[in-house]
A and B are shown apart, each in its own frame.
Chain A
């Protein structure tokens, strides 16, 4: 499977890569300090000094987006990794040790009964707004889905002939899980976490938009949009530019996830060319 030949993969890679590189290099390429106010130049339209204009505080929107994208990517990645670890562990236990299954899955069902975003907002509001809080809240909200995916994969894998064979020759549980089950489940887990990455970026923007993300003046894509909401007509550039970046990131990650799923799903393999 050659990913690079797939246009969807290439587009996704370019979108996510461009934003990621810009965000990582923000400290060098941002033209201004993202939290520096200049009240004499509030709501300034884009010009050759402020390429994307200024906000209500007179802060440079481009600089804020560069730093804000970093925060969004950081939170998205952390949530994808942490909910991956937590979800994989719960799914593994649940799928392998059957007595634990009913208990763990009922807890997951309980968490899934709340819409993920609502749960995250409630958690973030309770814990107090910060970047760490956003990560914890979104991890709790997205772990159940990952756990379900992992559990299903484990249930399939444990019935595979080579797993049965390993058992028959007396391999211990740790060895079976590490050598046979985990590799068999890696593909669906990777696909799922790519989507969690995308959803978490979007969810972080929502948390920041409703005011329970990282506190001001730290820029995040969602908080920049929230700043621009009141002046959507008078200064559309404030909300439009970070909105575009979020769209790029989420679209890019979904394209990557889709390609990954197509490539890793054996039933889809014949359809790929």
Chain B
């Protein structure tokens, strides 16, 4: 077997080196983290909910995991050898890794976990090209693909709905019931619906010796806190008050106005992350007005993205039009996009005329569960009314909106924040517009081609070109509006030492000072 590409730990320690020198941590203490939503399940494989991910990624690990920059690095695997034809992935597993029940992880557990993910995982499509999984010995897993799929490692390392490695016994459980036993630095103590989840430090945790320090979801993880309590608190004001009083130690998100107010409070440290998510306005190219490209272009020209972003994010935003984050491997650049993102009401009105607009109703479906969605919908509705469009803003709860927007008809615009997909890289973003159920409902031939090139080309340059092709098409045909990048503020009490903000509030490698 030819070693075409090798992700090995030896290569990546260099990436971990620039991290600051590690202060000596102190064991002990019960830390309380507050999050907005309650997790629908703790079965990590079967949901993409942030509320679950926050908790489950303390309990579960994956073969590969994303590092601080979002790139895949070995975690439970020592590395992988990929054959020259891109069809065989030979994973060597770390030896002696313990599950929370004391069992040593071996290749049968990994095989069972991957197979379970292929059946009931939320992103089960990443297992679709897998033809066979072999376990030649206890520490080797060979995955054979039926077709080339360069996004495989990105897929199995994504934290979106993590491809968690579970015990073979746990893998036999149906969706939603597995996942209480993992290999992570914390083990499940108690889960109380509508209240909290309590995790306890797993003292027999086998940290990854190939790293020197924490690195994204990978790296060398050390648990210092005796326990981590995740409290589910829907009210932002209550969470802020809890942090102020010291009842809570860590918040996954602090409201921007509250962060402004607490700037001078020495007992609280705020960590701003930019970018956190895309703010988008998805369009239905299959139905009514937005099936007409002139009308879609009119909408594109009518919107004042700065006003939308300023209101939807309370000011924590940046206007960044690309459909990938800057400084990542697939960033397609922003050249030539200004003409699409600059508001031009006259052009918008001319395009409406060109599209034969006669006062038909434009339906925006927005949910009131996420402020940025509702605000984006509300402000966009006003801006479109200002060019003479007849806009109906239909506000419903999040599950209803999710359901409504899956229908091929009945909606035109849908405000959506995309957080984890752009973090994952190009696959989640381009894939959102391609395949069997594209977000814009009607498949677009050029996007399909870009998706095919992205998911089957072994050459990185070809895949990067595919992302650029996708972005150019989305702008040219006004298939969707990228309003800008949203930031987020995570916050801790000042006695939480060595905390570093990330996709989830990581409670390893930090401690009470």
A216 near B237: Cβ-Cβ < 8 Å? no
Query: Could you give, for residues 49-60 of chain A, a 1 whenever the CB lies within 8 Å of some chain B CB and a 0 otherwise?
Result: 000000011100
Q: Is B243 an interface residue (CB 8 A)?
A: no
Contacts from A to B (Cβ < 8 Å): 35, 37, 39-40, 42-43, 56-58, 125, 128-129, 211, 215-217, 229-235
CB nearest neighbor in A for B379: A37
Q: CA–CA, A230 to B382, complex, Å?
A: 22
Besides the contacts A217-B381, A230-B371, A231-B255, what 8 more A-B pairs have beta carbons closer than 8 Å? A37-B311, A56-B311, A57-B375, A57-B378, A129-B394, A129-B396, A215-B394, A216-B378
Are B315's CB and A42's CB within 8 A? yes
Closest residue to B244 on the A side, CB-wise?
A: A233
Return the CB mask of B209-244 against A: 1 if under 8 Å, else 0.
Answer: 000000000000000000000000001110010000
Enumerate B296-333 residues with CB–CB distance to A below 8 Å. 306-307, 310-311, 314-315
Once A128-B394, A216-B395 are accepted as A-B contacts, the answer to whether A230 and B381 lie under 8 Å apart by CB is no
B236 touches A230 (CB 8 A): yes
Pair A56/B314 contact, Cβ less than 8 Å: yes
Q: How far is the CA of A229 from the CA of B368 in the complex (A)?
A: 13
Q: Binding site of A, secondary structure by majority: helix, strand, loop or mixed?
A: loop
Shortest distance between the CB of A23 and any CB in chain B (Å): 23
Interface residues of B (CB under 8 A from A): 235-237, 240, 255, 257-258, 260-261, 306-307, 310-311, 314-315, 368, 371, 374-375, 378-379, 381-382, 393-397
- Contact in complex: A215, B393 (CB < 8 Å): yes
The number of residue pairs between A and B whose CB atoms lie closer than 8 Å in the complex comes to 64
- Find chain B residues with CB under 8 A from A234 CB: 257-258, 260-261
6 contacts between A and B (CB under 8 A): A56-B314, A56-B375, A57-B379, A216-B374, A233-B237, A235-B257
Contact A232 B237 (CB under 8 A): yes
Report Cα–Cα, A37/B381, bound state, in Å: 12
Residues of A within 8 A of B393 (CB): 215-217
Task: Given A39-B311, A230-B371, check contact A211 B397 (CB 8 Å).
Answer: yes
A54 to chain B, nearest CB (A): 12
**B306 cross-chain contacts in A, Cβ below 8 A:** 39
Contact, CB under 8 Å: B307 / A229 = no
Contacts of A37 in B (CB 8 A): 307, 311, 379, 382
CB distance from A105 to the nearest CB of B (A): 34
**Interface pair B382/A35, CB less than 8 Å apart:** yes
| Nearest CB in chain B: distance from A215 CB, A | 5
B504 CB → nearest A CB, Å: 22
- Alpha-carbon distance between A215 and B311 when the two chains are bound, in angstroms: 18
A35 neighbours in B (Cβ, 8 Å): 382
Chain A residues with Cβ below 8 Å from B374 are 216
Nearest A residue (CB) for B383: A37
* A56, A215, A229, A233: the one within 8 Å of B395 (CB): A215
CA distance A128 to B394 in the complex (A): 8
* B261 x A39 contact (CB < 8 A): no
Shortest distance from the beta carbon of A113 to any chain B beta carbon, whole Å: 24
Max chain B CB contacts within 10 Å: which of A57, A216, A232?
Answer: A216
